[in-house]
Structure 1
Amino acid sequence: MTLNVTQPSQELDNVLSPSMGGDLISGAQLYFILLSIVALTQVISLGGVITNLINIAVFVKLGFNETSNISLLTLALCDLLSTILTIWGTLCITPGFSDAELPFLPTEIAQLTGAGLSMFVLRCTAWVTAFISFERCLCILIPLKVKKWVTPKTTTAVVVTISIATIGPYIGVYWRWIFVWKFLPGRNATVLGVTVVNTPVLILKDKVSNIVLGLIQPTVAFVTVLVCTVFLVVYLRRSSQWRKSMASAGGEKAGGDNSSRFEPKQNISRKEEKVVRLVTSIAAIFIVCYTPNTVMHLNMAIFPSFSLFGQHRNTFLMIYLVSVFANSVSASVNIFIYYNMGTRYRNALRLMFHLDSEDPVK
C-alpha cells in the first residue's frame, strides 16, 4: 500500500523543527535541548549496553539458587533492551540522521520500533523493581513464611508474568499504527513510514489502553516502589540505631525486657542488612529517574494539549527527552551498586576479568 505524505508524517517531521513557536519553550530552545540531551543519552546508553551485558554474565555465573539473582537478572535484561532501544530511538530523531535520504522515515519508524517499545520495557523495569522491593519488605515482616512462598520457581513465574503483562500489550499498538509505503513528492521516492487507522473501535481501545497501560499501571508500580523504599529506609535507620545501642551496651541487649520485638528480629543478620541496602539503593535511583516519566504521563492525562501534536508539544518533547535521559541513567548505573554492595557479585566480576582467583560461588 502506498500513500501520499499526510498526517502524522508531516507533524512528526515538523515537530522537531527549530522554527516552531507558540509554546512555553521556543523551537530554537527545543532544538538546542534535543541536540544536547540526545548526545548525552546515546553515550550513557552505549555504556549501559556494556554494563548490562556484564551484569547478565555475572548473574548467570552466580546461578539461580537465590531468588534475588533471578530478579536482578530480569532487571538487567530489561535495562539492556531499554538501552538498545534508546540508542535507536534517539538516533532516529538526531537531525543529521533524520534529515538523510533514507528508505524510511526515521521519526515515524522510531515511534513503533524505538520510543513506543522502550516505554513498555520501562514499565516492565518498574514492576520488576516493585517486586524486588516488595519481596524485601516481606522478608523483613514475615521472614519464615517468605522463604516458603518465594522460591526460585515462584520468582521465575512472577518475573515472566510481569514481562508478558507489561511488554506483551505492545502488540496492541499495531491495531492503530501500521507500517505503510508513502510517496514523497519532494524526493520523488517511496519510503516506509507509519500511518494511523482511525475507526471508533480502535480509538476506544487506544483510549482505554492509554489509561490502563500508560497511566494506571506505571503509576501503581511507581507508588509501590516509593512506599517500599520508605519502609526499607526506616528499617535501615532502626537497624543502625539498634546496632549502636548494642555496641554502647557492651554486647548486652538494648532496652532490656521492654525492647521491641521488631529490633532483635530485624538486626541479627548483617547479610540481610546488606541486601536491604542494595535493594534500597536500586529503588532510590529508580524513583529519581522515573519521576520525569510519571510527571509526563500525569500531565498527558490531565491536559489534552500536552502531547506530541498538542499546543504544548515543545514542552512535552522537552520533558520526554529528560525522561529518556533519566531512564538511560537508571538503566546504566546498577553495576556500580552491585559492585560496591554485593560481595559475591564483586568476586564473580573480578574472577571473570581475571583480577583474582577467589571463587564467588562457594
Structure 2
Amino acid sequence: METESSINTGTYIQFENEMTVNNTVAIGKEIKFTNMIRPVLSAEVHDALVMFFTCTGFFATVVGIFCNALVIITYAKIGYSDTINISYSALGFSDLSTSVFRCWGTMCYIFILSDAKVSFDPLSINVTTSFFPGQGFEKATAFLTAFIALERCLCVQFPLHVKSIVTKKITVTSIVIIFVFTLIPTNLIHIVYPFKLVYNPAQNRTILAMIPLQTPLRYIIQRTLLAYYGSVLHFSALIAVWICTVFLAVGLKRTAEIRKDKFKNSNAQQDKDKGRRVIKTVFLLAVTYLACSTPTAATTLVPQFVPEFESTRALARISRVCHMLSGLMNQINSNANLFIFLYMGSKFRNTFLRLFGKKIPGKA
C-alpha cells in the first residue's frame, strides 16, 4: 500500500501569493523561474537583484528583530501610565513579529538560491509559515499606526476630554480587536494547505512539504485571503493613516498658533511641549509608514491596469523585483520606530541609555 512518505510528488503545484503569483514549482524537479517567461529583464540582472534583495532583506529583518525587542523592553521599563505607551508597545510587538516571519521567509529563499539540502521544501513551507502570518502582523502594524494617529487626532481636537475618551480599557480593547481581525483569518490557509511528508528523488529522502488540496474550497479561501489582505485591509489602513496624518499636520499648525500665548506658568508650558512632542512622534510614524507602504500599494494596483505585470507574463521578472523592493521598504518601516522614539522622546532616550548602563547628562 502506498504511503504518504513514498509518494513522488513530481506534479506541478501552483502557489499564488504576493511574492510568487502563479509561480509553478515542482518538488523533486528543478524549475527555474527565470526560464519560464520572456526575457524583458535579463536573467543575469534579475538573478543579481534577487540575490541583493534577499541578502539585504535578511539583514534588515535581523536588525528589525533587535530594534523592536528594544522598543518593547524600553517601554516596559517606562511603564504604561500613559495609554500611548501601551499603543507603542503593541506596535513594537507587531513589528517584531513581522520581522521574525519575514526573516524566516528570507531564509527560505536563501535555501532555494543556495540549493541547500534541507529536510523540507522551502518555497512551499514559506507560504503558510512566513507569507500569510507575516501579512497578518504587517496589517496589524498598519492599523495600529492608524489607531495611534487617530488617538493623537482626538488629543488635538478635544484636548480637555481626550483622557475620558481614550482610556486604558478602550486602548487595550482596540488593540485586541486589531490583532483578532488581522491574525485569525491567516489560519484558514492551513485548512487547504496541509503539511505532508513526501519523497524527494533529487535528495533521495523524505521531506516535509506543503501540498495544497485540489478542491474548489482551496481556491475560494486562497483568493479570499489574498483579496482581504492585499486589498481590503491594506488600502483601508492606508487611507485611514493618510486622513489622520493630514489632521495631525493641520492640528500641529493650529495649536502652535492658538496656544502661542495661552500658557504662562512653566508646568503648563512643559505639558504643552510634551503633548506637541508626542504628536510630532506620531506624525513621523505615520509619514514613515505612508512612505514605505507606497511601493506595496503600487505593486498591488499596477496589475489591475497592466495585466502583463504578473509573474506568468511578460513583465514577470520586473514584477518579482518590485515585490521584493516593496517587502524591503515595509521592513524598513518596521525598523524605523526605534530611531524615531530615540530622536523624539527624551524619556524614552534616557530609559534606553540606562538599559546599557550609560550615564545621562545632567543626572547623577
TM range (shorter): 0.7 to 0.9
Do 1:5 and 1:183's aligned partners in 2 also have CA atoms closer than 8 Å? no
Cα deviation digits, residues 173-192 of structure 1 (max 9, x gap): 11322212232233332211
**Are 2:24 and 1:11 aligned?**
yes
Letter in 1 for 2:108: C
Q: 2:292 pairs with 289, 294, 303, which one? A: 289
Q: 1:227 pairs with 239, 243, 246, which one? A: 243
**1:90-105 map, 5 Å:** 90-94=106-110, 99-105=115-121
Do 1:347 and 1:359's aligned partners in 2 also have CA atoms closer than 8 Å? no
**1:74-85 map, 5 Å:** 74-85=90-101
Cα deviation digits, residues 35-78 of structure 1 (max 9, x gap): 11111111222111111111110111111111111111011011
Q: Distance in 2 between matches of 1:240 and 1:23?
A: 56
Letter in 1 for 2:204: N
Do 1:109 and 1:194's aligned partners in 2 also have CA atoms closer than 8 Å? yes
Counterpart of 1:325 in structure 2 is 328
Instruction: Tell me how many residue pairs correspond in the alignment.
Output: 341
Letter in 1 for 2:319: F
Range 290-299 or range 64-73, more displaced: 290-299
Q: 1:279 pairs with 279, 282, 305, which one? A: 282
Cα deviation digits, residues 151-199 of structure 1 (max 9, x gap): 1121111111111110111101113222122322333322111222232
Q: Distance in 1 between matches of 2:31 and 2:308?
A: 14
Tell me how far 1:235 sits from its aligned partner.
2.4
**Are 2:207 and 1:191 aligned?**
yes
Q: 2:139 pairs with 103, 120, 123, which one? A: 123
Counterpart of 1:343 in structure 2 is 346
Q: Distance in 1 between matches of 2:38 and 2:213?
A: 29
Q: Distance in 1 between matches of 2:332 and 2:229?
A: 23
Do 2:54 and 2:106's aligned partners in 1 also have CA atoms closer than 8 Å? yes
Do 1:7 and 1:195's aligned partners in 2 also have CA atoms closer than 8 Å? no
SS at match of 1:5: coil
Tell me how far 1:223 sits from its aligned partner.
0.8
SS at match of 2:24: helix
Q: 2:175 pairs with 159, 170, 183, which one? A: 159
**Are 2:314 and 1:298 aligned?**
no
TM-score (norm 2): 0.85
SS at match of 1:346: helix
Tell me how far 1:347 sits from its aligned partner.
1.5
Letter in 2 for 1:5: G
Q: What's the C-alpha RMSD, in Å, of the aligned pairs?
A: 2.8
Do 1:52 and 1:79's aligned partners in 2 also have CA atoms closer than 8 Å? yes
Counterpart of 1:68 in structure 2 is 84
Q: Distance in 2 between matches of 1:284 and 1:272?
A: 18
Tell me how far 1:304 sits from its aligned partner.
6.0
Do 1:92 and 1:98's aligned partners in 2 also have CA atoms closer than 8 Å? no
Q: Distance in 1 between matches of 2:113 and 2:39?
A: 26
Do 2:36 and 2:312's aligned partners in 1 also have CA atoms closer than 8 Å? no
Tell me how far 1:242 sits from its aligned partner.
5.7
Counterpart of 2:150 in structure 1 is 134
Tell me how far 1:143 sits from its aligned partner.
2.7
Closer, same or farther in 2 for the Cα pair 1:213/1:325, shift >3 Å? Answer: closer
Letter in 2 for 1:11: T
Tell me how far 1:231 sits from its aligned partner.
1.8
Range 21-30 or range 313-322, more displaced: 21-30
SS at match of 1:181: strand
Do 2:230 and 2:300's aligned partners in 1 also have CA atoms closer than 8 Å? yes
Percent of aligned pairs with the same amino acid = 26
Q: Distance in 2 between matches of 1:307 and 1:145?
A: 50
Q: Distance in 2 between matches of 1:319 and 1:21?
A: 16
Closer, same or farther in 2 for the Cα pair 1:295/1:186, shift >3 Å? Answer: same
Do 1:305 and 1:312's aligned partners in 2 also have CA atoms closer than 8 Å? yes
Closer, same or farther in 2 for the Cα pair 1:40/1:205, shift >3 Å? Answer: closer
Tell me how far 1:24 sits from its aligned partner.
3.9
Range 8-17 or range 270-279, more displaced: 8-17
Closer, same or farther in 2 for the Cα pair 1:55/1:153, shift >3 Å? Answer: same
Closer, same or farther in 2 for the Cα pair 1:303/1:194, shift >3 Å? Answer: farther
**Are 2:196 and 1:180 aligned?**
yes
Counterpart of 1:59 in structure 2 is 75
Q: Distance in 2 between matches of 1:145 and 1:252?
A: 18
Closer, same or farther in 2 for the Cα pair 1:124/1:3, shift >3 Å? Answer: farther
Do 2:57 and 2:328's aligned partners in 1 also have CA atoms closer than 8 Å? yes
Letter in 2 for 1:290: S
Q: Distance in 1 between matches of 2:361 and 2:177?
A: 36
Q: Distance in 1 between matches of 2:262 and 2:237?
A: 42
TM-score (norm 1): 0.85
Range 109-118 or range 131-140, more displaced: 109-118
Q: Distance in 2 between matches of 1:295 and 1:359?
A: 48
Do 1:17 and 1:31's aligned partners in 2 also have CA atoms closer than 8 Å? no
Counterpart of 1:353 in structure 2 is 356
